[in-house]
Amino acid sequence: MVDWEVHVYTGKETEEVQVVGVHTCNETDYKDFYTPSKYNRDGFENLTKSDVLLCMNDTDDKGNAVNQRLYSPDENTDHRRVELIFKPCVPKVMTSDQNDTDYNSECLVRNSTRLAYSEKLNEVVDYLGTPELIFVYNHEKLDLKKFWSESIFHDVNIMNYQWDAHHPVFLLNHIHRD
């Protein structure tokens, strides 16, 4: 009922944008994560077993490789950042060979009237309820009490956000805060 895509912005004064699809994470993707700390191990294992995580594709919509290393917080400096795009599906009009089961499981409208599209949008909003976004990513921390390679601690971070369809700024504020 919803589509996800990632926009990767790279640049300084002008930005290059790559549109990147997502896929359900698999064992190959999970091998790219650092070993989770004791604190994050159970959460990470539960998420990987449930098949709910989506991972960025390695190539953009034009077949170009995507550099997933992010740096710098904003457009005023040289940077690479991502925006997650979460959008309702674009409905298609039902055909004569489709039935109510198709209507309830696919993004379909019964006819091409404005009312039919509005009803479908309301159904999607109801279906979503309070969306939940779980970020799982590799994270490096510096331990100033240690030296050389021992001073860098690798971990998997898990962050959970929920937002209301009527207050999406809540999500934006939390993403930029972290």
Ranges of residues in the chain whose predicted pLDDT is under 70: 13, 73-75, 163-178
- Strand 2-11: give its sheet, edge to edge: 54-60, 15-24, 2-11, 79-88
Token pair listed for 93? 């009009």
d(C-alpha 75, C-alpha 13), whole Å: 7
Are 70 and 81 a contacting pair, CB within 8 Å? yes
Residue whose token pair is 């939940």: 132
Domain boundaries, the chain: 2-88+129-177, 92-128
pLDDT at residue 63, rounded to an integer: 95
Output the pTM of the full model.
0.70
pLDDT at residue 157, rounded to an integer: 85
